[in-house]
């Protein structure tokens, strides 16, 4: 009967001879650790991808958050990852899109703009 190489190696080291139980214990421990690691990665990635859905009714959510007396201001933003290429070099970038009228209420970004003004951006 033909068995693939990985099945042969796996069964060989998990069913060690009587005099070499330590190898069998180490192999079993390694396989359990690897399986647990894969399960954890699947769970983490599935929750991360699930929570990455965009908020469609952000105005309603912002109004509801603004009702809280501890909230001073609310400003929406959007974020996107991308790649830029120039002269054969590739650079990763993170783009943030803001609403200039609302952003002034929640941050001091306009103090750090070196050229132009925050008001000159269009929403």
Q: 30-60 pLDDT, tens per residue?
A: 889 999 999 999 999 888 776 667 788 889 9
The domain boundary residue, chosen from 16, 34, 50: 50
Short-list 88, 85, 119, CA closest to 101:
119
User: How far apart, in Å, are the Cα atoms of 74 and each of 8, 41, 98, 123?
Assistant: 61, 34, 12, 16
CA distance 116 to 104: 15
Quick one: 105 and 62 in the same domain? yes
Q: Is the pTM of this model over 0.85?
A: no
The residue written with tokens 């399986």 in the block is 35
Quick one: 87 and 38 in the same domain? no
In the chain, the largest separation of any two C-alpha atoms, in whole Å, equals: 79
User: How far apart, in Å, are the Cα atoms of 4 and each of 8, 52, 67, 122?
Assistant: 6, 40, 64, 62
Q: How confident is the model at residue 67 (pLDDT cuts 50, 70, 90)?
A: very high
Number of domains in the chain: 2
**Residue 123 maps to a domain:** no
Domain encompassing residue 29: 5-50
Quick one: 62 and 89 in the same domain? yes
């Amino acid at each position: 009967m033909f068995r693939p190489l990985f099945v042969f190696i796996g069964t060989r080291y998990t069913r060690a001879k009587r005099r070499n139980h330590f190898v069998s214990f180490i192999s079993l421990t390694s396989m359990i650790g690897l399986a647990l690691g894969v399960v954890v990665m699947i769970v983490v990635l599935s929750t991360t991808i699930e929570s990455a859905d965009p908020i469609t009714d952000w105005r309603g959510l912002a109004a509801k958050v603004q009702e809280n007396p501890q909230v001073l201001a609310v400003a929406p933003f959007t974020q996107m990852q991308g790649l830029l290429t120039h002269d054969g070099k590739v650079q990763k970038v993170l783009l943030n899109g803001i609403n200039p009228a609302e952003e002034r209420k929640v941050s001091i970004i306009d103090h750090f703009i070196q050229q132009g003004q925050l008001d000159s951006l269009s929403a």
